[in-house]
Structure 1
Amino acid sequence: MTRSVLAHRPLVPMAFADGTDETLLMGADWPLFRSLTEEDRRRVLSAARRRRFARREVLFHEGDPGDTLHLIDKGRVAIRITTPLGDAATVGVLGRGDVVGEMAVLEEGGRRGATVMALEATETLSIDRGQFLELRRRYPGVDLFIFDVLMANIR
């Protein structure tokens, strides 16, 4: 019988920005969070607001203002773009531990480059642009997280 590595990690109570109080593994099992210290993970997650999306619900549309990024906690989402001929093409599927919306949040006046739709009941932790820029300014370690997200997109 094998035991999960996560079984040894303590559950940490978190108070999210929207006032929700939950117990969470602090994202320690999310590959993109590995570059963050536990304290920086806590800072990032405490700025987040839990959002719930039903199957086929759109998180955001291509061309929308880029005002939040989403850390996917549960479920899967499809990344869809409009082709030059006007067709919709799915270019990726992301799930737990992945991030969507980071590019538009990093750019002043950024717009969404794709439509993101829940493929099943999905929960995200969203962080708005202002909060995220403040985290980056106050805690330089958060830039390692963004670097890892951008590198994952390139791969």
Structure 2
Amino acid sequence: MAANDGASAREIREALKHQYFVDGMSDAQRSRLVRGMTIQPFAAGQTLFHRGDIADTFFLVLAGRVKLYRLSIDGDEKIMGLVGSGESFGEGVLFMSTPRYPVSAQALEKSRIVAINRTEYLAELQYSFQTCMSVMCKLTARIERLLDEVESLTLRDSRYRVVNYLLELIPEPADGPVRLSLPTSKSAIAGRLAIRAETFSRTLRQLAENGTIVLCGGRTIEVPNPKLLRHALRTKSAQAS
């Protein structure tokens, strides 16, 4: 679907308003970028790219959800990230001398995704120092978050990982009851946390049994008191996996 289509161009411009990677760009720069962008539909299970493919594009999710993953030599899947509406991915390839995707990407559900040409973006980036700083700050923050995840996945037990994940879904200032909707299937979340799906479900049940959360059915979870959930993160837990 070409961005030159009026409705598509308007949708992309609206989505770009909240994106760090165009922060500081002029209206003229953004307009030139939009002209080269496309909105691509993907069915659930459809692959966007494979690890090692030439990376000439990065992406912005308009609707749906995408799984970023790697396969081991034995074919085991490790989910590296779950990307939802309003989030971008693939920017890490922007500054590689020979850009290749370090992961594979697959739509977990029906999705609409904006494809942004790397070469065209870099051509605009060189004229905006503010945008360069915004991109560098964001990528640095992602590296720091990945280091935290490495610590969690290597030094923490499965209960800690599940509780920490739930806390990440809660809006920062919330202290009263919060109703959460898991953004994707429990199996996909478990894969992201490097635990088995049954371990994830069992840990949720354990948290519900002691009143820390309420399982409302489907993907909906209520957290009556976020402070109790934060306390559960600090308490020593038995390995659940």
TM-score band by shorter chain is: 0.7 to 0.9
RMSD: 2.7
Alpha-carbon deviations, 1:76-128, whole Å to 9, x = none?
Answer: 10110123654211122111221121122321211110001111111111112
TM-score (norm 1): 0.73
What is the distance in 1 between the residues matched to 2:47 and 2:121?
Answer: 22
Alpha-carbon deviations, 1:31-56, whole Å to 9, x = none?
Answer: 53684457255454343211111111
- Paired residues in the alignment total 139
Q: What is the Cα deviation at residue 147 of structure 1?
A: 2.3
**Which structure 1 segments of 5+ residues have no match?**
1-15
Q: Secondary structure at the match of 2:123?
A: helix
TM-score (norm 2): 0.50
Between Structure 1 and Structure 2, whose CA radius of gyration is higher?
A: 2
8 Å contact 2:90–2:101 — kept in the other structure? yes
Aligned in 2, Cα 1:20/1:149: closer, same or farther, shift over 3 Å? farther
Q: What is the Cα deviation at residue 129 of structure 1?
A: 1.9
Which one-letter code corresponds to 1:125 in the other structure?
A: V
What is the distance in 1 between the residues matched to 2:2 and 2:120?
Answer: 10
Structure number with higher relative contact order (C-alpha < 8 Å, ≥ 6 residues apart)? 1
Aligned in 2, Cα 1:46/1:150: closer, same or farther, shift over 3 Å? farther
What is the distance in 1 between the residues matched to 2:44 and 2:100?
Answer: 24
8 Å contact 1:26–1:45 — kept in the other structure? no
Counterpart of 2:47 in structure 1 is 58
Alignment of 1:40-51 (within 5 A): 41-51=30-40
Alignment of 1:125-136 (within 5 A): 125-136=114-125
Counterpart of 2:199 in structure 1 is none
Counterpart of 1:4 in structure 2 is none
8 Å contact 2:44–2:107 — kept in the other structure? yes
Counterpart of 2:90 in structure 1 is 101
What is the distance in 2 between the residues matched to 1:46 and 1:146?
Answer: 21
Alignment of 1:2-151 (within 5 A): 18-22=3-7, 23-24=10-11, 25-28=14-17, 30=18, 32=20, 35-36=23-24, 39=27, 41-83=30-72, 85-151=74-140
Identity across aligned pairs (percent)?
25
8 Å contact 1:32–1:98 — kept in the other structure? no
- Choose between structure 1 and 2: higher helix proportion: 2
Aligned in 2, Cα 1:34/1:103: closer, same or farther, shift over 3 Å? closer
